[in-house]
């Protein structure tokens, strides 16, 4: 059981992510998580404000079911399939994080400095979550996809637009990690 | 129950992303610092095997389980939208450590403050829809 309870190495996780994509293709669909955000807008009545949201959301119900499953999967993985092994971050990463003021890198999946209610209920904390979410939601629709739609599905289908999008992901990610995070923390 | 298979795929997806630690803010930070092979290994292996899989699916003209022809749509032509939209996405990804898949999964792991990120992301998508025709694509 240890090999299930311990964190899975990249050479196990990588092919399993391909399996998810292939299953969805064989089911006649595509692997793309961010379109659910658009579906949620449509369900909320966004079509009144922009034709962009004039879609038949029922034809995307299957993807909302994938989301529901993903939430359940997250619950199962943490409750029953984990043994609390800390994340095996590189020593350099841990040193960099400590220098930024992150006290216990790797003991949780997410840093309490950002996601604990104490942090979230401060002005800085709520701004971080709202801005992060907004940028992801805006950027992913502008780019026409996210990590699953572009980095996994698009690159697997040898799409040049997806390569450009992934280069964009890295431009933004590198700017944030190297220049902006040190200003925030 | 035609939706049950999607529920199962979603559950598998959630489990895989938690067990791979790809849902971890720390792993995303480490990736953008180029300090570990972990995330590159996951994405690289997934894409490498994905290229082979899609090639085989196209070559064998295999049908979907409902018997329909499998169509994998090509992405629309464009440049500015992909590069600029991608960069905006990347800024948010590295700040919050979560892209749209992990956002939902992390709620399941008990991080309910992620619901704020999901709400903000939905708002971001809504604002894109409002501005779409005014943005360069």
Partners of B69 on chain A (C-beta within 8 Å) are none
For the stretch A6-41, what's the b/e string if a residue is b when 16 or more beta carbons lie within 10 angstroms of its beta carbon?
ebbebeebbbbbbbbbbbbbbbbbbbbbbbbbbbbb
Contacting residues for A42 by C-beta, under 8 A, at least 6 apart: A53, A54, A55, A57
pTM of the predicted structure, to 2 decimals: 0.97
Please state, in angstroms and rounded to a whole number, the distance separating the CA atoms of residues A66 and A22: 14
**Domain presence at residue A141:** no
Encode pLDDT of A110-167 as tens digits.
999 999 999 999 999 999 999 999 999 999 999 999 999 999 999 999 999 999 999 9
Please state, in angstroms and rounded to a whole number, the distance separating the CA atoms of residues B84 and A120: 28
**Domain presence at residue A59:** yes
Encode pLDDT of A2-13 as tens digits.
899 999 999 999
A75 touches chain B (CB under 8 A): yes
Selected for mutation to probe chain B from A72, A138, A158 (highest B CB count within 10 Å) is A138
**Domain presence at residue A129:** no
Q: What percent of chain A has pLDDT over 90?
A: 96
Encode pLDDT of B75-91 as tens digits.
999 999 999 999 999 99
**Domain presence at residue A135:** no
What is the pLDDT averaged over residues B12-22? 98
| ipTM of the modeled complex | 0.97
**Domain presence at residue A51:** yes
B44 touches chain A (CB under 8 A): yes
Q: Which residues 98-117 of A are in CB contact (within 8 Å) with B?
A: 105-106, 109-111, 114-117
Partners of A109 on chain B (C-beta within 8 Å) are 18, 21, 23-26, 106, 109, 111
Asked whether the predicted pLDDT for residue B112 surpasses 90, the reply is: yes
Confidence of residue A106 (pLDDT cuts 50, 70, 90): confident
A81 vs B19, B97, B123: nearest CB: B19
Please state, in angstroms and rounded to a whole number, the distance separating the CA atoms of residues B117 and B95: 11
B10 vs A25, A66, A168: nearest CB: A66
- Cβ contact B32:B97 at 8 Å: no
Partners of A27 on chain B (C-beta within 8 Å) are 5-6, 9, 64-66
Quote the number of domains for chain A: 1
**Domain presence at residue A161:** no
Structural domain span for residue A45 = 1-82
What three-state secondary structure class fits A89?
Answer: coil
| pLDDT attached to residue A1 | 80
For the stretch A54-92, what's the b/e string if a residue is b when 16 or more beta carbons lie within 10 angstroms of its beta carbon?
ebebeebebbbbbbbbbbbbbbbbbeebbeeeebebeee
Confidence of residue B2 (pLDDT cuts 50, 70, 90): confident
């Amino acid at each position: 059981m240890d090999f299930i309870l311990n964190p899975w190495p990249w050479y196990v996780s990588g092919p399993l992510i391909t399996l998810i994509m292939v299953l969805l293709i064989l089911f006649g669909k595509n692997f793309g998580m961010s379109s659910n955000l658009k579906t949620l807008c449509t369900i909320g009545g966004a079509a009144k404000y922009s034709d962009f949201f004039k879609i038949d959301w029922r034809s995307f119900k299957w993807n909302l079911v994938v989301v529901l499953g993903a939430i359940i999967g997250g619950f199962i993985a943490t409750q029953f399939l984990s043994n609390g092994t800390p994340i095996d971050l590189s020593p350099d990463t841990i040193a960099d994080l400590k220098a930024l003021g992150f006290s216990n890198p790797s003991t949780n999946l997410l840093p309490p400095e950002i996601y604990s209610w104490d942090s979230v209920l401060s002005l800085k904390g709520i701004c971080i979550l709202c801005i992060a979410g907004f940028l992801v939601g805006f950027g992913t629709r502008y780019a026409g996809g996210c990590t699953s739609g572009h980095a996994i599905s698009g690159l697997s289908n040898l799409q040049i637009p997806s390569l450009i999008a992934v280069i964009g992901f890295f431009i933004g990610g590198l700017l944030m990690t190297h220049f902006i995070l040190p200003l925030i923390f | 129950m035609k939706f049950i298979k999607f529920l199962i795929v979603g559950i598998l997806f959630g489990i895989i992303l938690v067990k791979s630690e790809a849902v971890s803010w720390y792993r995303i930070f480490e990736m953008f610092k180029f300090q570990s092979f972990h995330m590159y290994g996951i994405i690289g292996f997934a894409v490498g095997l994905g290229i082979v899989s899609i090639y085989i699916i196209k070559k064998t003209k295999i049908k979907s389980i409902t018997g329909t022809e499998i169509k994998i749509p090509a992405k629309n032509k464009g440049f500015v939208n992909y590069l600029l939209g991608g960069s905006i996405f990347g800024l948010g990804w590295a700040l919050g450590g979560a892209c749209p898949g992990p956002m939902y999964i992390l709620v399941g792991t008990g991080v309910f403050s992620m619901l704020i990120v999901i709400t903000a992301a939905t708002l971001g998508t809504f604002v894109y829809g409002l501005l779409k025709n005014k943005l360069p694509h």
